[in-house]
Structure 1
């Protein structure tokens, strides 16, 4: 349906202050309109749908009760922030969501004063809210003023250690701070771990008489399964030697659980907390991801992320792939190796579908581990699996692996443990923008002694690199690959174990050599085709390895050409920097040899299509062609080296 939904109340909202004029029944109707508007907007752009639908009532209630932007509402991860954006003056810009020059898919400080803290990785909200609370009490300067600090965090994000570090500190400082635990029993994938089990059964009496009165009868209003869970939890608590909950032991007053879709519970509880809270308080709200939209509610992931879709049917309008995805190729390859070697296992941090490991989990559930949103634990857990004689693959997106870097250094690299890092979403990723770009893994891994770092040029190379990693027991090894479809090359039935530190010559030429690391090889080839029409035939090589470098191949290319250009989908400090050091150490530059390294620029690139982002980065085929032409002109002026 292309027609916009009827939204008479929402049409009156230009900023959250407009909600103060509405009665409670009108706020409920506003929530229904906001849900319809969110569905309509995301159907046209694609994006994160289910999380936002799960917090519609909570979003309306928060903005009706509190005074943003003076009060700081911080959305953890913030893929649930679309309804918040609609209520905070950005409704007309929703058609630009996740597009070049448009609204971010996450909260972003530069986008709106109603986004006090940017977020796209999980579990940061409580730390940020505590920072705002302390800044308030210390008299910090703020253009929007200082009021309450409210963190909205999901049960999946609450499983990460950082959330508990923040709660422990907040309980110690005893600052007025409000944490809303949005418990939808699902983060991106179904949550795992003891905390999830704890939350699903938890119930405790409200600590304040006022809150007891405000939420009187709340349990009886809960859906049947929640009532049963509350009863079981009460019975469980009676047997504890020390009363109270985990959160109260951390220094938080606990209120809940309440029905996060019932405005008659949300509004009085939030109003009472605003009026009465003195220290840190946690409100436990039970919600349903995808609430109010049947296709999302029925999806296994609650409609977490979607392409454009038909509002009536929920059918997504995805283009048919021309080639298998890199993620799918990795998944098929690791399943084949696991079938042949019962020492192979895999670890992921709350991304079984995103990393493709769901296929392995379905086939070999005892050897596939989803540890929740806990990348640090995932890395150290993998290290110990390796020390224990297993062959673990630790599959984590490039941007998320950054969160476990200390563990990569200390627990894996220093101990030379053979953990195999499967690094998905390498390079620029499109609509999710700078927060999800895989820009730095080559630089931060190739600096570590004993690490092997590979990048697949296409999906066939990825199959070979999975085989190479599976066979490598001498230390840590990593292979990176991008989001999306492959090049469409023929896939080998079985991966070949590559010789460590050896690249390959793709085609011979003269004058200038193009040395690619990763999937820019396709752009290098297209640049070479354009150059051929101008009478220039560069040599093309695929490095395969950033660590260790193929010294023999690189020095041979330098000896036989006037210039060398490296091309990669990573930041400065990565592959090109290591090649430059090799050439410098070998004295190649002393003879007038010319070298250029094409890398991601020293900026954060906002969301756009991957093709647009690489054009902004200066790494398209035409950019590579221009670099060759500039170098060739310089070479002609300066003359060839002796």
Structure 2
């Protein structure tokens, strides 16, 4: 039997369906999402929880003329299925397939490239202002979660939304979750409201008053008029007070899985001439028991059994960098009671959960507020504590100013533990951690460590904690090498590298995860009688200049990093060579001046030329070029492979299959 979903090619078709048919469609969407993500992985719980909201909105607006703005975008799977991407949905998050987030390059119905939280209201307000300037009348709806609306950017937008009084519908998706449990006073307020009998007792009465007015009316949204007489009599004081003071009409909590009720309120909200906030209560993972029972796990998962929700078994691997960091942080906390862990709604993702359990009085989750996390860390350090701020690379970008002014300028003893550095995989351009080297390297007094394996990570954390001033350590997602973890961590000498392989013809200066790639590439180059020295540089800043000058005694100096070349550490290596008037040919490998799409880490590394084989070929080509300059004899054809050399390190890379957990 053909599904309603199979007949939907444009979201405007939903306007012809009855409420009963829309409910059937919502059920079909839920089944499709579970069926596909069971194979591809993805952001399951958040997408299942927002289905009825998305169906209701698309049944009443005319996208893409009308604008539907998503916050984060990881809840938009139903939106993708309703906007012509059903056939391609099985390619979700795969290399060359459709993105896990909204993306204007993928569909005319995607307003912006979502991926980080709390920006939807600013974008919606910009759209509303442009509409006012043009004199057009398109509808604008923004969907934001209760965690996203607690972010500073959202509050900044709410302030101006109330001032401008432009028609705009904000749907607050209140599911009590970001990835981990929500924190903060606003979350407590919403939680108390959800459990209040007032909601049930006043919902029907409020709806009758709205219907009697026909539309919400200018008196209810004009901040300059008497709100005490209009808004306060219409809406629940405890839910509307904050928004009311900003000049935004707020509904009582609505059942986010009741399409009929959602459409009734949304129809009236769309008809008003000012901003309206619809407070919608949903359940993360709705319709799929395993996701409801464990919304944190199902926020971002790999493949799973769609009947039971059980995660499919994965090959045995070395422990993940995140879990190694987690254990190391707890061990450091036992030995030093001044250490404080700070994270931004990412306790599980950053590996700080264990520290939170072991030392609750020295643990702080600030919610989606990275600026606050880094600013608070400065205050703790000033007071003599040793804060460790654990944040994903892509999200630390938000706290750039606080890193510089609040910490580096006054040389605070703060450690920035930067998880998910480099190419993270299926979450794509909005989540790759490829900019942190470039944006941190230029900051005075800030030191940067790039541990190459899990043992080095343990030592790097210890070194960062005992080194004066702000120190950042960056490490990738996924699994380590399988090396032994030291029981007593080593303290690295600041600015000193570690040579892990000797060679005479080419020197590779590798940073972080790229040490493994360099070693594998060196093994491959040995087949062509090219002797390669590999140096684990350890420190991005300060650089080991002596190691760079020693590398220049070979015939080719290569730097390799899993970050952008523009502003990256490779540029600094070449600067050191130029500063010392060294003319040895050099090659800087990294991410070119482009945004990298989504896909498996292996596919992405190959696509940007940073897998071992590609690196070996690029080095070989550059080496041949130097030989041609030196003696005019050597050519690629002159080098034939010999017997392969014994590998000095494990050569099989490990690849994580779970998605990154984007709270933002």
Instruction: Calculate the TM-score normalised by the size of structure 2.
Output: 0.88
The counterpart of 2:448, out of the listed 440, 453, 462, is 453
Answer whether contact 1:207 1:253 (CA < 8 A) is retained.
no
Q: How far apart in 2 are the matches of 1:146 and 1:462?
A: 55
The counterpart of 1:411, out of the listed 374, 384, 406, is 406
Give 1:302 deviation, angstroms: 6.7
Q: How far apart in 2 are the matches of 1:625 and 1:349?
A: 39
Aligned pairs, number: 604
Q: How far apart in 1 are the matches of 2:113 and 2:361?
A: 38
Q: How far apart in 1 are the matches of 2:537 and 2:463?
A: 15
Answer whether contact 2:459 2:492 (CA < 8 A) is retained.
yes
Structure 1: runs of 5+ lacking an equivalent: 1-5, 217-233
Map 1:10-409 onto structure 2 (within 5 A): 10-139=5-134, 147-202=138-193, 212-214=209-211, 245-275=241-271, 277-301=272-296, 303-409=298-404
1:569 paired with 2:562, answer: yes
SS of the residue corresponding to residue 256 of structure 1 reads coil
Give 1:23 deviation, angstroms: 1.3
Map 1:373-522 onto structure 2 (within 5 A): 373-472=368-467, 474-522=468-516
Give 1:635 deviation, angstroms: 2.4
In the alignment, what sits opposite 1:223? Answer: none
Give 1:637 deviation, angstroms: 2.4
In terms of mean alpha carbon deviation, does 505-514 or 436-445 score higher?
A: 505-514
Answer whether contact 2:168 2:270 (CA < 8 A) is retained.
no
Q: How far apart in 2 are the matches of 1:619 and 1:182?
A: 40
Deviation track 1:327-365 (CA, whole Å, cap 9, x = no partner) reads 001000010010111011110000000000001111111
Q: How far apart in 2 are the matches of 1:83 and 1:515?
A: 46
In the alignment, what sits opposite 1:618? Answer: 609
Q: How far apart in 2 are the matches of 1:424 and 1:340?
A: 23
Give 1:11 deviation, angstroms: 2.4
Tell me the C-alpha RMSD between the 2 structures: 2.1
Answer whether contact 2:253 2:279 (CA < 8 A) is retained.
yes
Q: How far apart in 2 are the matches of 1:215 and 1:194?
A: 35
Map 1:565-604 onto structure 2 (within 5 A): 565-572=558-565, 573-589=567-583, 593-604=584-595
Give 1:494 deviation, angstroms: 2.1
SS of the residue corresponding to residue 506 of structure 1 reads strand
Q: Quick one: structure 1 residues 152 and 238, their matched pair in 2 at CA, closer, same or farther if it must change by over 3 Å?
A: closer
Structure 2: runs of 5+ lacking an equivalent: 214-231, 632-664
Q: Quick one: structure 1 residues 300 and 16, their matched pair in 2 at CA, closer, same or farther if it must change by over 3 Å?
A: closer
Q: Quick one: structure 1 residues 209 and 344, their matched pair in 2 at CA, closer, same or farther if it must change by over 3 Å?
A: closer
1:532 paired with 2:526, answer: yes
Give 1:211 deviation, angstroms: 6.3
Give 1:12 deviation, angstroms: 2.4
Q: How far apart in 2 are the matches of 1:476 and 1:564?
A: 30
Q: How far apart in 1 are the matches of 2:236 and 2:482?
A: 61
SS of the residue corresponding to residue 509 of structure 2 reads strand
Give 1:212 deviation, angstroms: 3.2
Q: How far apart in 2 are the matches of 1:165 and 1:601?
A: 34
Q: How far apart in 1 are the matches of 2:7 and 2:578?
A: 66
In the alignment, what sits opposite 1:226? Answer: none
Answer whether contact 2:570 2:589 (CA < 8 A) is retained.
yes
Q: Quick one: structure 1 residues 169 and 211, their matched pair in 2 at CA, closer, same or farther if it must change by over 3 Å?
A: farther
Instruction: Calculate the TM-score normalised by the size of structure 1.
Output: 0.91
Give 1:282 deviation, angstroms: 0.4
Give 1:464 deviation, angstroms: 0.8
Q: How far apart in 1 are the matches of 2:236 and 2:568?
A: 57
Q: Quick one: structure 1 residues 625 and 353, their matched pair in 2 at CA, closer, same or farther if it must change by over 3 Å?
A: same
